[in-house]
Chains A and B, each alone.
Chain A
């Protein structure tokens, strides 16, 4: 596609429910990243994929968070038993390959509100 596509763009969920956020990277990009941005805050790294494998999961805040990537393309970030502190914008990004200095392109984000 022309850019990184994320869905849903907005999601309101009840505390305790599970949510799935989807990311479709730029066609041909092998590296995919998930970041979280809380209101008025910077971007917090969650996880990145090179192909279908995730060499770095160090940013996942708890075991309620998981992510997978299939076919080297689409990725899904799953948050189980959502809590109010999970409310944030979840940003996906991709780059051609995972090399320092390779331009990283962001999607528009999925705005998650847990009530």
Chain B
């Protein structure tokens, strides 16, 4: 089955800095890679996703890149704000269900 590794487990940045979270996956058949943001006491919310026929996707301050050859994908957040503080999960799927990374706790200090 699929295995997803996510790094770093925690990331502290100053407001206005950029943040990068990286994930690798094992199954070359995986073709869909979403990112979720989870705030304390809430369920995960989809923030951006990318499919295997695309190398990069941007949505305002958030971007995701995918390297299918190397089997890794990354989340980039620019101009971070305190409200970006949360746990971020990457995931991958090619079959029935999403396999998640273990999460990155992002802390943005004012």
Residues of A with Cβ closer than 8 Å to B? Answer: 4, 33, 35, 41-43, 45, 48, 55-56, 91, 93, 98, 100-101, 103-109
Contacts and interface: CB of A to CB of B under 8 A. Distances in A.
Given A91-B44, A108-B42, A100 B102 contact: no
Contacts, number: 56
B45 interface: yes
Interface of B: 6, 31-32, 34, 36, 41-46, 49, 51, 89, 93-103
B96 A108 contact: no
A105 B97 contact: no
Contact of A45 (B6, B41, B45, B98): B98
Contacts of A4: 43
B59 to A, nearest CB: 14
Nearest to B96: A56
A109 B44 CA distance: 9
A42 B102 contact: yes
7 contacts: A41-B103, A42-B6, A43-B44, A91-B44, A101-B93, A104-B34, A108-B42
Nearest to B98: A104
Contact of B94 (A41, A48, A100, A106): A100
Nearest to A111: B41
A33 B42 CA distance: 17
Contacts of B100: 35, 42-43
Nearest to B49: A103
Given A42-B100, A56-B96, A91-B43, 8 more contacts: A42-B102, A43-B100, A100-B95, A101-B32, A106-B36, A107-B43, A108-B43, A109-B43
